[in-house]
Amino acid sequence: MADKELKTRATSALQTALAAFPGKKTLVADASFRSLLDVIASGVGGKAYFEAQAVARVLLLEQPLPRASLLEATVFLLLRPRPTNVTLLRELVLGNQGSTFAVAWVPQCTSTCELEMERQGLKGLVKEMDLPLYLLPTEPTVWSLCRENDFQSLFVEKDLSLVTEVAKSLLELGMTRATNMVALGAVADSAKILFESVQSKAPAVPAPVTFDQCVLVDRTEDPITLLVTPLHYEGLLDAVLGMNHGVVATGGNKHMLAATDEFYAAVRDLDFDHLVTVRLPAVAASLRDDKASTPATELAKKLNELVQTKQAVALHLQLVEAMTTASNVDHKAIKRCVEIEQSIMGLGKPRDIDAMLEEALLRDPPLDVAKMLKLLCLHALVLGGPERKPFEARLQQLCHSYGYQLLPLLSSLTTSLRWLQPKGGNVDWKWSKLRKSLDLLKGAPIENVLDPQDIWGMFPTIGYAPLSVRRVQVSVGMRQPNSLPIPSSSATKPSAPPQTVLVYYLGGVTYAELAAYRYLNRSQSKYSFVVATTSICNTNRLLQGLMAAQ
């Protein structure tokens, strides 16, 4: 019910804003709103939703600017309140003075942006409004602000304006101080303090769902899950094909993989090898057998179901083929990365790991820079990194291999985030202690990938349990800090309703973590987890965003 209400709020708000400007129009959106537009349109008609609002086409506000021939007489812009967007808006207005321009600031215009509009001479020339779009349901019990480059803003630029959006999104959910709220991380703590300071003064909002507990989590509290490649189907769609908020592109076509699709919901969390070698062939065989053995009258009744299943199997076979092709084009780089990650996470000798990293660094063709940096950061966080001299030599080799334009990004990783450090360089990070106290590593491959018995099913070769999820389990009382599950109380009635827990990630959540929460919701009945996030992230998007901003 909450998912439907949040979706209706968002689509109605955008529909009302667009209706204020009748007639055919061009929608020009902030370049970081690709996912937001896809999520809004999903389930309400897709492209037809925008056509119903008389939107002729959807373009992005980025260089080079959209050509005049692509713009209608009315241009409606959907923008985040940033000075850089105001500069681009001015160029667009000056180059198309025959069009009428209106801008909707998401979620609202800031004083900085308002001053920039005046400075650029756009105040009064462009119609303005605020469009309070906050959490959008990307699938049942997963809600996102869809704010790309959120990690960079929060943890590198130290711009806490997004913290205000997080606090307002909690108010939009009707949350009060009666909900037990825990913050994991400095930015999360800022959001908690801000929410508690404004909640009593804010107007009451009908709550689509009542939460018993809320855990705010900084992305930087768990860099490990971000740096290790998940091996379940949905995780590899993200890692290999760059799936973002359920949208994956292959062969020039975009596909929205919705959890409401029963077939996708059944296979998304499966180990990739099992899916390819067992599940998909079995489904294809059953389709053939059904057609051959089912009487004609029964077959007619099942025809629609069979057609849908056949289409679903065809789509996922296409996606599997695209993943295989991408891996081959990349000279098996994903496979090699996974092998090195496994060694780093506890299955290899330090000398062998150093040799693997050197081989990856000198590889011809070279690894993608994001993959190489991911391996080096994981090595530093899990094993402490090399001594200072080899560390500096490795950074120098990175610059030789990928260019000295990498220096600002390396500065962010070594200074702002401290993920890339020589041995002893990050004394505040205690991986060994966390690993043991929270039971993060099984220490051996999972024998039964269909029944992993815990939240390490997304990493079957190493048996890794996502750190952030473990910390949430401890925070809500589901596990003890010594890694043991809380014993069930005999006084607790089996029929007691579960505690509803909102877990809110600031800086992005990974598909592996989402799969872990789905496992918890399936495997026990005491807690029901809902995940909110500023975005759905992976290492590649995160590092590309950091590089683009330098």
pLDDT at 17: 96
Please give the residue range of the domain that contains residue 338.
332-416
Q: Tell me: the pLDDT tens digits for 370-422?
A: 999 999 999 999 999 999 999 999 999 999 989 999 999 999 999 999 999 99
257 near 248, Cβ under 8 Å? Answer: yes
Extract the tokens encoding 210.
Answer: 């009542």
List 30's β-bridge partners, or say none. Answer: 61
Closest CA to 362 of 394, 389, 385, 392: 394
**468's tokens:** 């952030």
Residue 367 within a domain: yes
Alpha carbon distance 11, 59 (integer Å)? 19
Instruction: Answer yes or no: are the C-beta atoms of 78 and 29 closer than 8 Å.
Output: yes
Rounded Cα distance between 22 and 28, Å, is 16
Q: Which tokens sit at 395? A: 């950074």
Confidence of residue 164 (pLDDT cuts 50, 70, 90): very high
Please tell me whether residues 3 and 126 are part of one structural domain: yes
Using an 8 Å Cβ cutoff, are 453 and 212 in contact? no
Same domain for 95 and 15? yes
In this structure, are 6 and 117 located in the same domain? yes
Q: Output the domain CATH number for residue 270.
A: 3.90.830
Q: How confident is the model at residue 483 (pLDDT cuts 50, 70, 90)?
A: low
Burial (0-12, 13-18, 19+ Cβ within 10 Å), 514: buried
What's the confidence (pLDDT) of residue 107? 94
Average pLDDT estimate for 286-291: 66
* Residues 368 and 271 grouped into a single domain: no
Long-range residue pairs from 174-178, CB within 8 A, at least 24 positions apart, any chain: 174/204, 174/205, 174/206, 174/207, 174/208, 175/199, 175/207, 175/211, 175/214, 175/502
CATH number of the domain residue 86 falls in: 3.40.50.2060
- Note whether 238 and 317 are same-domain residues: yes
Whether 468 and 496 have beta carbons less than 8 Å apart is answered as no
Q: Are residues 370 and 248 in the same domain?
A: no
> What mean pLDDT, rounded, does the chain reach?
90
Q: Is residue 459 part of a domain?
A: no
Q: Which helix (H) or strand (E) holds 272?
A: helix 272-274
Q: How far is it, in rounded angstroms, from Cα 9 to Cα 136?
A: 9
Write the CATH number for 408: 1.25.40.850
Tell me the pTM. Answer: 0.94
Q: Could you tell me whether strands 25-30 and 74-79 are parallel, antiparallel, or unpaired per DSSP bridges?
A: parallel
Q: What is the mean pLDDT of residues 321-332?
A: 83
Helices (H), 343-466: 350-361, 369-383, 388-402, 407-411, 431-437
Provide the pLDDT confidence category of residue 328 given band limits of 50, 70 and 90.
Answer: confident
Q: Are residues 104 and 15 in the same domain?
A: yes
- Judge if 356 and 265 occupy the same domain: no
What does the pLDDT read at residue 429? Answer: 94
Look at residue 114 and tell me if it is in a domain: yes
With a cut of 60, say whether residue 489 has pLDDT above it.
Answer: no
Higher pLDDT, 474 or 488: 474
More confident residue, 4 or 308: 4
Q: Which of 116-120, 302-306, 320-324, 442-446 has the highest mean pLDDT?
A: 116-120
Q: Report percent pLDDT > 70 for the chain.
A: 93
Phi, psi of 517 (to 5 degrees): -70, -35
Residue 548 lies in a domain: no
User: Both 312 and 352 in a single domain?
Assistant: no
Tell me the C-alpha distance between 453 and 229, whole Å: 20
Band of pLDDT at residue 298, cut at 50, 70 and 90:
low
Is residue 376 domain-resident? yes
The answer as to whether 512 is a domain residue is no
Q: Which of 272-286, 377-391, 490-504: highest mean pLDDT?
A: 377-391
How many angstroms separate the CA atoms of 519 and 234, rounded? 14
Given this model, what pLDDT does residue 204 score? 79
pLDDT for 259 beyond 80: no
E strand spans, 126-283: 127-130, 136-139, 142-144, 180-184, 213-218, 247-250, 253-256
Which residue type sits at 398?
A: L
Dihedral sign, CA of 169, 171, 175, 177? positive
Q: Looking at the structure, do residues 45 and 129 belong to the same domain, yes or no? A: yes
Q: Work out how many domains the chain is built from and give that number.
A: 3
Whether residue 402 sits in one domain with residue 274 = no
Model confidence over 30-64: pLDDT tens digits? 988 989 999 999 888 888 999 999 999 999 999 99
Q: Are residues 35 and 123 in the same domain?
A: yes
Task: Name the band, by pLDDT with cuts 50, 70 and 90, for residue 548.
Answer: confident
**DSSP state at residue 496:** S
